[in-house]
Amino acid sequence: MDFWQGQYLLFLDYVNANFQLVLAKLMYTGIIFLITYLLLRLRLTLVNKIFDRSTHDINKANTLRTMLLSGTRYVIYIVAVLTMLAVFEINIAPLLASAGIVGLAVGFGAQNLVKDIITGFFIMFEDQFHVGDFIEVNDQVSGTVEELGLRMTTIREWSGKKFYIANSEIKTVRNYNRGHLRTVVSVAVPFEEDLHNVFNTLNEVCRNITGAHADKLIKLGDGSFVEAPQVYGITDINKDKRGVVFTVTAVVDPTHYWFLEREFRRLILEYFQAAGIAMAYPQLNIKTDRSFEILHNTKQGGTVDYS
């Protein structure tokens, strides 16, 4: 009896000791989570304070901000995970020292991660695009850059859709916020229209744009325009629409590129309607032979003149 009682007491001591140990580890884990959360908040506050004082290129500052936030987030997460492993007495030194394990990790995806990070740094240092730029990636996705991170770039499409693109997948970039942009708007009119009238009407559209939106055009140091709105001329003869294609152009501020293209189209439509100028549209001419016309008239109950 005394033997079993002693065993029972030893069991209780063992359970109690292990319970206290587990409880202590869970408490340490909770503290690590709390410290991690506080560090993430602190790093966000500090980085925002640093870059909010920037009076230079706002887009570049936002790009550096997102890159720094992304990098510090990864560092904090890695330190937190390593600390928790140490609390639970999991020794990762043999794993890290094992070349075989490291090679296996690289083979299973670390290569892509390294490529993403390296490409992200090249994008930033080569100044390919900034946060806030409107870009087109790989001729497939276009939108505004919301974040440039260490591993991926976030782009929001005009419709509101958000795209997450791994940096290593970015092959070609078309940036609409670099230097001067030229609006190019074309319109087709039928061959029968008076081409001089069309040319003069388009010139009126260009004068309207110049007068109403001069602040959106690029100017030289002396105040003259780099390229004022102008009728470029006849740029194509469209056989499908059976018409002549005119093109108007202007060098504009990148931030107003889309607006001025829409304004050009709106004014062209209004001025053409006022001047009675038609726009060309696809046409299909069908030629029928005499036998088809006779058969059609007979079926409709008509008479056929054989003279």
The class that CATH gives domain 181-275 is alpha beta
Of 122-126, 270-274, 298-302, give the lowest mean pLDDT range.
Answer: 298-302
Task: pLDDT band for 54, please (50, 70, 90 cuts).
Answer: low
Instruction: Specify the pLDDT at position 129.
Output: 87
Higher-scoring residue by pLDDT: 197, 99: 197
At 295 the pLDDT is 47
Least confident of 1-10, 66-75, 185-194: 1-10
Q: What is the mean pLDDT of residues 23-50?
A: 83
Number of Cβ atoms within 10 Å of the Cβ of 106 = 13
Average pLDDT on 171-178 reads 86
CA distances from 102 to 93, 108, 117 (A): 12, 10, 18
pLDDT, tens only, 127-165: 888 888 889 999 899 998 988 887 889 999 988 899 999
Torsions phi, psi of 143, nearest 5? 170, -170
Range scoring the smallest mean pLDDT among 5-9, 193-197, 214-218: 5-9
64 vs 247, more confident: 247
Residues 229-235, mean pLDDT to the nearest whole number: 93
- Does residue 14 register a pLDDT over 60? no
Per-residue pLDDT tens digits for 84-93? 877 777 766 6
Portion of the chain with pLDDT greater than 70, in percent = 75
Do 2-97 and 181-275 fold alike per CATH? no
Where does the pLDDT of residue 18 fall: very low under 50, low under 70, confident under 90, or very high at 90 and above? Answer: low
Domains of the chain, by residue range, sit at 2-97, 181-275
pLDDT value, residue 304: 45
Mean of pLDDT over the chain: 79
Fold for domain 2-97?
Helix Hairpins (1.10.287)
Band the pLDDT of 172: cuts 50, 70, 90: very high
What are the pLDDT digits (tens) for 254-291? 888 889 999 999 999 999 999 999 998 776 666 665 55
Higher pLDDT, 82 or 58: 82
Q: In what order do the strands lie in the sheet with 230-238?
A: 181-190, 243-252, 230-238
